[in-house]
Chains A and B, each alone.
Chain A
């Protein structure tokens, strides 16, 4: 994680799930995509990414499969499962609610508190 933003473990899980909504990806791909979409604000290093991916898989939120790469090597691709989709929707909802509440608090004038 870069200095500019620290992500809590649970948030990283949610971002990974979101990243895999459209199509299955391998670990490096997930990390790069998060970096791209956040325009460089978040960079996920392998030491956080792999544990998160494996944990999500164990929880049944992701499924994985081995695919052949061009070089003839195997790479592990992760795919969002049905359970994962449900979890993602719920997580997104919770996140909206939390952030809305935080924004409200931050926006109120000091006298109103």
Chain B
């Protein structure tokens, strides 16, 4: 059809509907008139001619309708009609409609939120320009064998000097900085970075400048770049912040620029970057990561080849320090999100399953409603509606409901994503990327549409297939068509139950795994609620004096421990740089006098530095020898205490006490330490790790600036303020953070598995709820439908028990089929949960049995309720009604 003319005609028909209708009527009556005239001129009487004319015309309604149906505007009008009618239908049964819309809103909203989160975190590019060209450099070498190992500044300098694949490289080290000078002292998350850091990331300042070449030379002054959030908070957004000097970790530094807060790298909430001087005196410490921006035309493989060549050169230049050194490259995005991808995808899948169940449930509800509307539909069919038109109208109803549900769901999704960003359960620096944008809206619209079609098509097909006669017949419900409906509804419920079982299975497995995790032994025998821990950083550690005389720090700790011991209720006080179950201060290898050293034989392990009461405070048993005492100072003989697994593995036949052990590899020039004791094992690498060998050093002999204060006391939880107060009296500029009992520390270390388990158990429960409501509906409907039959049975001698059993059997049969189907699917899909499970196999019988039992139990309840109602049917009343 000629486009413009068609469009205009259609518009005219829409706008001037009444006039157009009148014209049509005129044309039709004109037709009749001409026909009449022709009849008269043929010799008929005018009455007869008129009659024949009307016969020739046929039904004027039919003519009008068929002529009207040719234009596009007809579809628009019928659609508008359908929408109005659909709204009326919805209003007729408000409760059902409300439940349906609510279910859909929950399902679509949760899915949209997850889509926003998954897209934002896993797929959307980071806010750095051309971010696929940025790669993170790790150091991978024996004996530490950490594929994402840190590098030292010396390594960085070597890499920078010889590399050709990167146009700019930088090193960074996440850190915490204490700001003082203007009003308050606060600690912020930040990073030490080399000069080209901002160039690599192409972060542009909103004020001032970022670091430039030369800012990491040894003559450069201390400078910092701050984030907009810090600028607003601490400097009230004043325009003259550039050039201000503040105290950063005790030394003055000049603010040179402000950058937007939206970058979140290298840590979530990073607010400050300080220039790192590339003054390299020795190989360590290994605190840094390297990042670089690839040159144009160079891809990751080529860059990695070159980097590994550089690694080989570094290794041969410092023999004995590294072994099998490679420098793997990882794209920045992968580095930031690789860890959380499995969890996010798992949650997305679970939410998708819940939506599926919800959609099936809604289809069931609509099918029931369609059965009730059979008479209405049959009437319409008999009055001339085409089946196609009917289906169009029914589908419009379901799609409308779905879109309304989807719109509400978007609102819910916004709330969910906002909570997610604030709480950041995955602790990821890219959490802020999750948001509700146009993509999520398109996703929500698409899902709503698909859902609407999915749950609308089944009732629509069923309804339009009804024969008119049976629908209009006495009773309004024919046996055959209802049976078809019932079979479909039963199948749908079985599907719901099966999917619920899959979710319950997964939840059960995660639950088992989590319980195993919680019950695993950390090595601490003291009650974790009786142990208070504080993470502190004394101001002494930030002074210049402690660089030349580190023993000052050790003395401070000894004084602090003694002072804290005088607080009422305190039994033992210790200070250490490591805390079970998951804080290990430093790790390195070691060597034993008289035993040949190799990387495989002496893997890297923890070497916590502790004050004498450490083991007593945590309740770690002494197996041989002695604990550290105050006599073990920096000037006395070097001593060490080893853990039980170290003793068992390296001193299987002899008494380790008295033997000599040296820190680090054999190349280390520090003197050997005498082993003075053997203690029980502790876990430092997470509750799901094993007990690894560890060797302990006295805090006096090698103190560090970031330590834990460990206080064993009765009612330890209440002592937090008192301990913190006493510490501040000892050192006014001390930083105290993370005041937690050991129980809270343990709980925190299993936070990720806990979140996963909670989520999945929640989803499983939700799915179970929806499915059981569906089952209830099917059985209840069956009871209503068979009321007459029950009456007959009871009149013929069946008692209430028989009636109850009849329906119970029906319900249990549906449940069993659902469980069988679900089991088969579950066993396949739980394999996907393997990365999340601790000490649990994916066919764990307890979880399997548990989920089946739970499903069966809830199904029995859902069946019993309507079944009991069936038993209360009065036979005479049932027989009289239809």
Report chain A residues within 8 Å CB of B31: 26-28, 46
Give Cα A17–Cα B69 distance, bound, in whole angstroms: 21
Nearest-Cβ distance from residue A52 to partner chain B, whole angstroms: 9
Contact of B62 among A27, A29, A32, A47 (CB under 8 A): A47
| Stretch of B33-41, B542-550, B829-837 on the interface side | B33-41
A27 neighbours in B (Cβ, 8 Å):
27, 30-31
A71 to chain B: which residues have CB within 8 Å?
33
**CB < 8 Å: which of B23, B26, B69 contacts A51?**
B69
Chain B residue contacts of A40, Cβ below 8 A: none
Q: Is the interface of A mostly helix, strand, loop or mixed?
A: helix
* Nearest CB on A from B11, distance (A): 12
Nearest chain B CB to A23 CB, angstrom units: 15
User: Which residues of chain A come closer than 8 Å to B33, judged between CB atoms?
Assistant: 69, 71, 73
Verify B26–A74 contact, CB threshold 8 A: yes
Contact between chains at A75 and B69 (CB < 8 Å): no
Query: Which residues of A in the span 45-88 have a Cβ within 8 Å of any Cβ on B?
Result: 45-47, 50-51, 54-55, 57-60, 69, 71, 73-76
Q: Which A residues are CB-close (under 8 A) to B23?
A: 76
A interface residues, how many (CB within 8 angstroms) = 22
Given A51-B70, A58-B5, A58-B71, CB of A28 within 8 Å of CB of B34? yes
In the complex formed, the residue of A with least CB distance to B57 is A46
Contact B9 A58 (CB under 8 A): yes
Assembly CA distance A75 to B62 (angstroms) = 20
B66 close to A51 (CB less than 8 A) = yes
Q: Which B residues are CB-close (under 8 A) to A45? A: 56, 58
Asked whether A32 and B38 contact (CB < 8 A) given A51-B69, A54-B70, the answer is: yes
Query: Once the chains bind, are B66 and A73 in contact (CB under 8 Å)?
Result: no
A54 interface neighbour in B2, B58, B67, Cβ under 8 Å: B67
CB-CB under 8 A from B1, the residues of chain A are: 55, 58-59
Return chain B residues, CB-CB under 8 Å to A46. 28, 31, 56-58, 63
How close is A79's CB to chain B, nearest CB, in angstroms? 15
Which of A32, A45, A50, A57 has most chain B Cβ within 10 Å?
Answer: A50
> Of the candidates B5, B57, B66, B69, which one forms a contact with A60 in the assembled complex, judged by CB atoms under 8 Å apart?
B5
The distance in angstroms between the C-alpha atoms of A57 and B1, with both chains bound, is 10
Across the interface, do A50 and B27 meet the contact criterion of CB distance under 8 Å? yes
Q: In the bound complex, what is the Cα–Cα distance between A60 and B63 (angstroms)?
A: 22
Nearest chain B CB to A26's CB is how many angstroms away? Answer: 6
By a CB distance below 8 angstroms, the chain A residues around B805 are: none
Interface string of B3-37 (1 = CB under 8 A from A): 00110010000000000000100111111011100
Chain A residues whose CB sits within 8 angstroms of the CB of B29 once the complex forms: 73
Chain B residues, Cβ within 8 Å of A28: 30-31, 34-35, 38
Pair A26/B67 contact, Cβ less than 8 Å: no
User: How many angstroms from the CA of A28 to the CA of B36 in the assembled complex?
Assistant: 11
Residue in chain A with minimal CB distance to B36: A28
Given contacts A45-B56, A47-B63, is CB(A58)–CB(B26) below 8 Å?
no
Q: Is the CB of A76 within 8 A of B63?
A: no
Contacting pair A59 B2 (CB below 8 A) = yes
A100 CB → nearest B CB, Å: 30
- Looking at the assembled complex, report how far the CB atom of B879 sits from the nearest CB atom of chain A, in whole angstroms: 50
Give, as a whole number of angstroms, the nearest-CB distance from A30 to chain B: 10
Out of A29, A51, A73, which one reaches B67, CB within 8 Å? A51
List B residues 31-88 near A (Cβ within 8 Å). Answer: 31, 33-35, 38, 56-59, 62-63, 66-67, 69-71
Are the CB atoms of B27 and A58 closer together than 8 Å? Answer: no
B35 partner residues in chain A, CB cutoff 8 A: 28
Tell me if A75 and B30 are in contact (CB < 8 A).
yes
CB proximity to A under 8 Å, residues B495-533: none
Q: Is there an interface contact between A74 and B5, defined as CB atoms closer than 8 Å? A: no
> Could you list some 7 contacts between A and B, CB below 8 A?
A28-B35, A58-B9, A58-B70, A71-B33, A73-B29, A73-B30, A73-B33
Minimum-distance CB pairs A-B, first 5: A28-B34, A75-B30, A60-B2, A50-B67, A28-B31
* B→A interface (CB under 8 Å): 1-2, 5-6, 9, 23, 26-31, 33-35, 38, 56-59, 62-63, 66-67, 69-71
